[in-house]
Chain A
């Protein structure tokens, strides 16, 4: 049985599945229930100056009748007094010494404020800190959260201040509301961060009510932008994790990945892309803490099947495969092939290709009168669209066609440069 024990930047946990700093980790009662259910760690709901909250805070987005494709919130950091949280953190850590308890912190960007809170929280025995530079709403208006997380100098400075006082590992949680996440990640590294985590939520407005014309959610008829998370954000977050993981300047800094993780397979993808631990918020809010059982069981079964023994055998293994467009082989060619035994003749591939791609799926009729579809392979550009819209497993395969020696854009440019220099030399 695969060993899921985790050592993330020196923070130890029975497994890599941690609850993200959010409502599920608001109280000791909840975190202890989560540990009982199997979660390996928890990042406590962000501590800071006691905060007020509004009523009506969340909105879910549905897609084709499927609930909580995405999740939007305008909640702020913990609204409970710091002393109460500290007492509960202390009790929780004492009861669960082997689980990871990490305190999320957010204060104004001043050195003494960071020193003060780090020391206070450290005294109750946390395993690490996560600096929340990511909340996109409410806190930003006060110069905290995303507002400070979008300015690399502020990230670096605050990380440094926290590190000055911290005796346990410091994780810097990054906001996705920025053009290039590696810039703030680098600032965190330069500030001395032991690890980074991402993503916090993405600026969002969940919707507008067509009867009242109110925003969703609204507070007494007014709305404000919130933060988006849940399954919809996974590809965005996964790219950010991967970009950080492959950036040589970041020096393989441990990454805790999150954003839309709902199952063991989502988690495994994050791990392959470099996440040494994963965090979950929305899926737990949708289904309760018990979902972690299948995350653990599923990952273990997957690893056993692949003969992987520890997390080291999986974390980061796909990172070398993530590169720049210029390194992709321009001569690699795939074409669509339709398996008419499996095809149910919905013709969705035909119309997708006809209207919006390269017009190469023909609707034909056989001699016996049956309809079938066929790809004109010479015109197919291998875009995958038909196989994406196909509702049936195995009806369309994308198959590789031998197509000459590999040649990337970068190779090509280099070759062109070389010929033109030799041409000039000749001249």
Chain B
């Protein structure tokens, strides 16, 4: 995120919707031309290596410079079926832009923003970038329409498979549609990507939960292959008293309420405690502020050094006026007689010896309990897993993380492949849209190889 480009808008209490407009403006035509001409068009460019989907970045940038925007968008979307979303949500400092050779010489190219420029063109001009492949007689069911499921579906459709996606929610797109804050990723961008996949003949059955509305057996017997791309589930319980009080929220559900207007005015003037310090916690905190909360504190039991949020997310939260309570652990949610949250009891922590994961273990400081006056608590301490569903499929898993062959994304059932957050486990960095998309693609190629026997993707 390039903070210097942010529109310096203060939070409006009258027009909450305006607080959820994209914070970083599109590049102007001049910016895009200046920036694209600054790209060196390196050979064997490190940015390509750093992109999990391997977008040919110098090529798409050169096409912006030459005025071939359709070609540019095609190069991006070819490698990354959710390339428009990724241009907005990828942690580019850690990926492509971080690898740009100009980091040392001057300033890295704004790859994410250029990618956004080219895909915006495709969105505005209704460009047809890909075609459905010739029917190869095989069918694939995909469970979940997030980045992993969509990417898989797009590639399978181009390869001639009949693809059906089953999606529990009323709209497709997964967390791109419902989970990532609107001021970074407007919902229409994700829905455009969904539409691109549907145009290739992919059927998306929304409001259809696998395991409930349609059985696992039906899928396994009715399709030649299955891609499990259900992501992760709700935020786990904190395991403290008062958790079911009115005013306690799951961060992901909470962000979801801000993805579609009208915005609720329930948060105006409230005092909010967000428990956790990862990226989701920061999103919940910045959404609270944008909904008009008066005071937002993030509660984390370790220190600034151990927090898992990206640097730019942290900076962004500070700019939004979020306060941070380090070395603090919630112990009880205090409620009034009507069962409404009135406070959060916490204890101060100190860091002891490093644990197994190498991070120093926080331990409570005796007698340091205190009550923080809040009227909303948002839990953002990770996500649980769809263990039941995974077991219904009979797949090997570790704590709900489906085990796969990392070359083919095949699970312990040779007919079932898995991609995205559902295979995301500890020690694998951050769960990201871009890796989910790449895994979805690779699963599609592996299915093609298994069922049709060719390795080449017959691109159409």
Asked if A294 and B30 sit within 8 Å, CB to CB, the answer is no
Asked if A297 and B30 sit within 8 Å, CB to CB, the answer is no
Asked if A287 and B41 sit within 8 Å, CB to CB, the answer is yes
- Enumerate chain B residues within 8 angstroms of A293, measured Cβ to Cβ: 59
User: Scoring A residues 255 to 271 as 1 if CB is less than 8 Å from chain B, else 0, what string do you get?
Assistant: 00000000111000000
User: Scoring A residues 281 to 300 as 1 if CB is less than 8 Å from chain B, else 0, what string do you get?
Assistant: 00000011011011001100
Within 8 A of B (CB), among A353-395: 391-393
Number of interface residues of A (CB under 8 A): 17
Asked if A298 and B71 sit within 8 Å, CB to CB, the answer is yes
Residue of A at shortest CB range from B33?
A393
Residue of A at shortest CB range from B67?
A265
B399 within 8 A of A: no
A301 within 8 A of B: yes
Asked if A265 and B71 sit within 8 Å, CB to CB, the answer is no
Interface residues on B, range: 10 to 19
- Enumerate chain A residues within 8 angstroms of B65, measured Cβ to Cβ: 263
User: Scoring B residues 42 to 69 as 1 if CB is less than 8 Å from chain A, else 0, what string do you get?
Assistant: 0100000000000000010011011110
Interface residue SS majority, chain B: helix
Residue among A66, A294, A392 with max Cβ neighbours from chain B (10 Å): A294
B169 within 8 A of A: no
Asked if B41 and A301 sit within 8 Å, CB to CB, the answer is no
Asked if A393 and B29 sit within 8 Å, CB to CB, the answer is yes
- Enumerate chain A residues within 8 angstroms of B37, measured Cβ to Cβ: 66
- Enumerate chain A residues within 8 angstroms of B70, measured Cβ to Cβ: 301
User: Scoring B residues 62 to 89 as 1 if CB is less than 8 Å from chain A, else 0, what string do you get?
Assistant: 1101111011001000000000000000
Asked if B43 and A301 sit within 8 Å, CB to CB, the answer is no
Asked if A294 and B43 sit within 8 Å, CB to CB, the answer is no
Q: How far is the CB of A52 from chain B (nearest CB, A)?
A: 31
Q: How far is the CB of B160 from chain A (nearest CB, A)?
A: 20
Inter-chain CA distance A293–B63, complex, in Å, is 10
The answer to whether residues A263 and B66 also contact, given A293-B59, A391-B30 and a CB cut-off of 8 A, is: yes
Residue among A288, A290, A297, A393 with max Cβ neighbours from chain B (10 Å): A297
Interface residue SS majority, chain A: helix
Q: How far is the CB of B37 from chain A (nearest CB, A)?
A: 8
Residue of B at shortest CB range from A297?
B71
Q: How far is the CB of B357 from chain A (nearest CB, A)?
A: 44
- Enumerate chain B residues within 8 angstroms of A287, measured Cβ to Cβ: 41
| A393 CB contact (under 8 Å) in B30, B41, B67 | B30
The answer to whether residues A294 and B29 also contact, given A301-B68, A301-B70 and a CB cut-off of 8 A, is: no
Inter-chain CA distance A47–B66, complex, in Å, is 34
The answer to whether residues A294 and B59 also contact, given A265-B66, A301-B68, A393-B29 and a CB cut-off of 8 A, is: yes
Q: How far is the CB of A302 from chain B (nearest CB, A)?
A: 8
- Enumerate chain A residues within 8 angstroms of B68, measured Cβ to Cβ: 264, 294, 297-298, 301-302
Q: How far is the CB of B297 from chain A (nearest CB, A)?
A: 42
Q: How far is the CB of B124 from chain A (nearest CB, A)?
A: 14
Asked if A298 and B29 sit within 8 Å, CB to CB, the answer is no
| B30 CB contact (under 8 Å) in A263, A298, A301, A392 | A392
| A298 CB contact (under 8 Å) in B28, B41, B66 | B66
- Enumerate chain A residues within 8 angstroms of B67, measured Cβ to Cβ: 263, 265, 298
- Enumerate chain A residues within 8 angstroms of B43, measured Cβ to Cβ: 288, 290
Within 8 A of B (CB), among A271-317: 287-288, 290-291, 293-294, 297-298, 301-302
User: Scoring A residues 80 to 96 as 1 if CB is less than 8 Å from chain B, else 0, what string do you get?
Assistant: 00000000000000000
Q: How far is the CB of A372 from chain B (nearest CB, A)?
A: 20
Inter-chain CA distance A190–B43, complex, in Å, is 46
Q: How far is the CB of A388 from chain B (nearest CB, A)?
A: 15
The answer to whether residues A294 and B66 also contact, given A392-B30, A393-B29 and a CB cut-off of 8 A, is: yes
Within 8 A of B (CB), among A222-266: 263-265
- Enumerate chain B residues within 8 angstroms of A392, measured Cβ to Cβ: 30
- List 9 additional A-B contacts (Cβ < 8 Å) besides A66-B37, A264-B66, A265-B67: A264-B68, A265-B66, A287-B41, A290-B59, A293-B59, A297-B68, A301-B68, A301-B71, A393-B28
Can you list 25 A-B contacts (CB < 8 A)? A66-B37, A263-B67, A265-B67, A287-B41, A288-B43, A290-B43, A290-B59, A291-B41, A291-B62, A293-B59, A294-B62, A294-B63, A294-B66, A294-B71, A297-B63, A297-B68, A297-B71, A297-B74, A298-B63, A298-B66, A298-B67, A298-B68, A301-B68, A392-B30, A393-B29
List residues of B whose CB falls within 8 A of some A CB. Answer: 28-30, 37, 41, 43, 59, 62-63, 65-68, 70-71, 74
